Structure 1
């Protein structure tokens, strides 16, 4: 549904506002992005920073012509700012217009006070052979790969010091998920020779790719680890701060049906999924449980 696409768009925009080094900068207009980066610099000069950002949206108007839907919506931004030992909330209201074709979001723009659209953000849906390719995800092959390489590196790929997501991407690719190729690292899910997408190698980018991808590697979020099957994926935010730090693949279940996972960085095999025994664990840990889906 178009509403889910809009919600995901706003969520990614919110993530970028707090962590501007994440690969979601395409979700703001260039002028807005530069303006927001200046805001960050101004805060730094005042020895302040944004520690959290809450965004709420309300649909104002809806217009549909054949397959094209235009949604005008009001966004309420709330920035929690820390300056020394003090905290305060900065707020801003903004009217925007999103355009959807067949319920897929293709552009977004800010509406000026004069009621006119400003610069349009075009939402880049990867144009790639994998977009319409039908495939069956082979969970057994993904798990076999995870078992083969859990404690070493496949020489066909670059090895990283922080290798968890690179390893998981290789497992999924071994299970038959086609790459969505692109010319820049912030788009698609791909690896070739000495170049790769952020979503292939970076835990935070991988987590958001799983939520938003509509071609190639796609996933359905479920509410509990118990619902996962071998070949599915768990993402970890150890600090609970919105930056996703780690990725594992389910390779089995224990006697009560809870997932056991393999991982790289700290190479692990058949480890209980909760990671309470990790030195990175905190009481604020958050998890995302993703069921990898085939293309029908």
Structure 2
């Protein structure tokens, strides 16, 4: 038993591969370009699924990253939990991948909501408690509120929960293609699908409303950023602003790849492409 444990520990020590080192290098390079310093970094690797054929193994594991960032007179802690997998043949790692973002398949991602409001109606503002939305985002960034369904691609579901915690009103219950709502056993597409929420925020005139900003630094904690990684018009990801760095740039929380106080641009993401497009939404009109 001790020999098996030592063998497995040796394999795990070598799972932190050159690919992951490059990914972390890009992340650290981003801090340097923004005039920030990584003062302390801690990492933890933990396997959660393993399939073995003789001495061949397929291993799924998580890397938990904690980075203490010095940002001028400020400091903050960036945290993230990233999914990885590798194929081990004997005692040699044959193939390894790190996945920082998991995206919906195109068939599920291209859901554009219908609006139940009349176009001529003026936007109706609501009272948005940004502090409570951020408090919720911080509380649940690396766990899941049992009051809501947990999705495999959970980013927009998590953001919708944050918005709801801040007092965003639900509208359009029982028609999944209309409005923004959650009722326990059912929910609108805009509640859980990034592309749907992006278009809902652009067009809603009642209930959850927002105005579009032209730059990320115009956002405040509690506001929302939507991401189209491929630049193909299909939005894949959603985050919530929880803080701002010394330059006034947003730091965001997200689910699917659970992360906290991550720099908003996601240039360190495995889903990032030079064609990436963003939409910046100020919640509350």
Q: Which residue is equivalent to 1:264? A: 255
Q: How does 1:185-264 map to 2 (within 5 A)?
A: 185-264=176-255
Q: Structure 2 matches for 1:108-257, cutoff 5 A?
A: 135-257=126-248
Residue 269 (structure 2) aligns with: 278
Normalised to the residue count of structure 2, the TM-score between the two structures is 0.59
Please tell me whether residue 103 in structure 1 is matched to residue 120 in structure 2: yes
8 Å CA contact retained: 2:109, 2:236? no
Look up the SS of the partner of 1:140 in the other structure: helix
1:22 aligns with 110
1:7-18 counterparts in 2 under 5 A?
none
Count of aligned pairs: 179
Does the 8 A contact of 2:121 with 2:205 survive in 1?
no
Q: Gaps (5+ residues) in structure 1?
A: 1-17, 28-99, 106-130
Partner deviation per Cα, 1:90-109 (whole Å, 9 max, x = no partner) = xxxxxxxxxx978359xxxx
Structure 1 residue 267: Cα displacement = 0.3
Identify if the C-alpha distance between structure 1 residues 19 and 223 changes in structure 2 by more than 3 Å, giving closer, same or farther: farther
1:112 is matched with which residue?
none
**What is the CA distance between 1:182 and its match in structure 2?**
2.6
Structure 1: how far apart are the matches of 2:212 and 2:111?
21
Question: What SS is found at the alignment partner of 1:290?
Answer: strand
Alignment partner of 2:281: what SS? Answer: strand
Query: Over aligned residues, Cα RMSD in angstroms?
Result: 2.6
SS of aligned partner of 2:246: coil
Deviation at 1:184, TM superposition (A): 1.6
**Runs of 5+ consecutive residues of structure 2 not aligned to the other structure:** 1-105
How big is each residue's C-alpha offset from its partner over 1:195-236, in whole Å with a ceiling of 9 and x where there is no partner?
A: 000000000000000001011111100100000000000000
TM-score by length of 1: 0.56
For 1:169, what is the secondary structure of its paired residue? helix
Greater relative CO, 1 or 2 (CA 8 Å, sep 6+): 2
| 2:13 aligned partner | none
**Distance change >3 Å, CA 208–CA 101, structure 1 → 2:** closer
> Could you say what secondary structure the match of 1:262 adopts?
strand
SS in 1 for 2:162: helix
